[in-house]
Amino acid sequence: MTPELAVISMGPEDRHLSWTSWNYGHPCTEIVQVLQDEITRTRTTPIQKKVGIKGEQFKTMAITKAVYATGWDGDVVLEADHQDGSWKVVVPADMVPPAALVNINTASLDKLTELPGIGPTKAQAIIDYRATKLFESVDELLEVKGIGPATLNKIKSLVTVGN
């Protein structure tokens, strides 16, 4: 078997309580290293994450292969192609090429309306907002009239504020 990707289920890495993955050193260095050695697909953007050594002891490790963890990446959504049996990672955003991300500070009305849950009215509200203040983070979209948490969650992995 030649795995292309792996998903690890874990809680948020910043939750340091006695009953969480932190207390158990999860995910452990040895398992993450095995996955890094065997997974064939790479991440578009490598990440630096803490992996367990023992119990509450961690070290930072570069994750370059398609190893995803809910505590690192949030929701991880996989989509299967029923024709050829292949899988693709829909979320997290690192699977979306950076050039394909919509820059909310520069995108046209037409480009913004291509985003799920964003019609002409919300797109115009984004343009009006950035006319007075450029977005510093994607989460600032919550300050735009008509955009709530549900809409933000739909588009968060598809947009950027640029460099």
- pLDDT of 93 above 60: no
Element containing residue 150 per DSSP (H, E): helix 149-155
8 A C-beta contact, residue 103 and residue 97:
no
Q: Which domain holds residue 104?
A: 98-160
8 A C-beta contact, residue 50 and residue 62:
no
Is the residue at 83 inside a domain? yes
- Same structural domain for residues 107 and 90? no
Q: Pick 19 or 33 by higher pLDDT.
A: 33
Number of domains present in the structure of the chain? 2
- Same structural domain for residues 77 and 48? yes
- Same structural domain for residues 120 and 81? no
User: Of the given ranges (73-77, 111-115, 117-121), which has the lowest mean pLDDT?
Assistant: 73-77
Q: What is the mean pLDDT of residues 70-93?
A: 76
Q: What is the mean pLDDT of residues 73-98?
A: 70
d(CA 104, CA 26) in angstroms, rounded, equals 36
Q: How far is C-alpha 140 from the geometric centre of its chain's CA atoms?
A: 17
Q: In the structure, what pLDDT confidence band is assigned to residue 111 with cuts at 50, 70 and 90?
A: very high
8 A C-beta contact, residue 33 and residue 62:
no
d(CA 141, CA 130) in angstroms, rounded, equals 10
d(CA 22, CA 7) in angstroms, rounded, equals 17
Residues with Cβ within 8 Å of residue 157, at least 6 apart in sequence: 90, 91, 92, 93, 96
Q: In the structure, what pLDDT confidence band is assigned to residue 163 with cuts at 50, 70 and 90?
A: low
Domain end (from 94, 127, 149): 94
* Mean pLDDT score across all residues of the chain: 85
Whether the predicted model's global pTM rises above the 0.85 cut: no
User: What's residue 114's pLDDT?
Assistant: 87
Element containing residue 51 per DSSP (H, E): strand 42-54
Determine if the peptide bond prior to 116 is cis (ω within 30°). Answer: no
d(CA 90, CA 154) in angstroms, rounded, equals 11
Q: What is the mean pLDDT of residues 122-134?
A: 95
